[in-house]
Amino acid sequence: MVSGEEGAPKEILPLNDVAVINVEPGLANPKSARAIFDLCLQNNPKALVLSTYASGALPDAFTPLISEFSKRDTPVFVVAGNYGSDHGIQTIDYRTQVGPIKAGATLLRDVNVKHLPDVAQAVQSAINQGLTGEALKQAIVEKFGTPVEVAK
């Protein structure tokens, strides 16, 4: 259930234009990752949300696939699986975070996997308002933030 103000339930939008993938270790295999992305592409989504490992890192097999989405002007948002906190990635610390960013993915700073339904709903709502591509990406970044600091 998605929460509204003061925890009250709010309308749940059907995710007609948003593909959500829960990244598991088995998807590190390039053939498995390709198969999942191909399934997502069949529905011609206007955005992709990836639920990742705790650090927000993704298997290397995802980098070229994210690049494909980016070239289609389809935003890719990354939500970290760090269940121990209520926020997402604060700094970019790992090589496996940098590859997806260079390919066009956007790591979300202020939310993590605990808020995955809220992120998916916000993306769909923005799409329903006519936002796509870069405008959609900017609207979601304004709402949920993105890390700006690369750790040294």
Q: Give the model confidence (pLDDT) of 61-115 as tens digits.
A: 999 999 999 999 999 999 988 766 766 666 666 555 677 888 889 989 889 888 9
Q: Is residue 57's pLDDT more than 80?
A: no
148: how many CB neighbours lie within 10 A of its CB?
Answer: 9
CATH 3.90.1300.10 fits 17-150, yes or no: no
- What is the distance, to the nearest Å, from the Cα of residue 33 to the centroid of all Cα atoms in its chain? 15
**What average pLDDT does the segment 32-39 reach?**
91
| Dihedral angle computed from the Cα positions of residues 125, 58, 113 and 16, in that order, rounded to the nearest 10 degrees | 30
For residues 54 and 80, the answer to whether their CB atoms sit within 8 Å is yes
Tell me the C-alpha distance between 60 and 28, whole Å: 7
Q: Where are the domains of the chain?
A: 17-150
The answer to whether 68 touches 37, Cβ cutoff 8 Å, is yes
Confidence band for 150, pLDDT divided at 50, 70 and 90 = low
24-44 burial string, b = 16+ CB within 10 Å, else e? eeebeeeeebbebbeebbeee
Q: What is the percent of the chain where pLDDT is above 90? A: 43
Residues ≥6 apart with Cβ < 8 Å to 103: 63, 64, 66, 67, 70, 76
Is 12:2 a contact under the CB 8 Å cutoff? Answer: yes
Q: Which candidate, 84, 152, 79, 83, places its Cα nearest to that of 121? A: 79
